[in-house]
Amino acid sequence: MTGPPKFQIDLNEQFPTLQNAPIVEAVIQFIAPPTKTIEPHSLRKILEEKCTGYKISDQVQFEAGLTGLPGNMEVRQKTEWDGFCLHERR
């Protein structure tokens, strides 16, 4: 029994620019179990080499909350690196 077909992205594939396109920005998120571990700084380096037409920025999840009663409040916050966001250089 074979597994699912291997998913590949062709970074050289070109797409036409549509006049009056209904979408000017798109978000693509892939969620899959990794086949090997890679550190964020190593991934950034690979993206910088392979995606030269894009500006790369960190994507961060941020949560904040308050609990308690007036005069005795507790502030909680959590910040966690969540990936990279690529923006086309213009």
| Confidence grade of residue 33 (pLDDT, cut at 50, 70, 90) | confident
CA dist., res. 42 & res. 89, Å (int): 22
Mind listing the pLDDT tens digit for each residue in 34-86? 788 888 999 999 999 999 889 999 999 989 998 888 888 888 899 998 889 88
What pLDDT is attached to residue 20?
77
pLDDT at 24 over 70: no
**pLDDT-derived band of residue 7, with 50, 70 and 90 as boundaries?**
confident
For position 38, what pLDDT does the model report?
Answer: 82
**Dihedral, CA of residue 40, residue 46, residue 50 and residue 53, to nearest 10:** 50
Q: Where are the domains of the chain?
A: 40-88
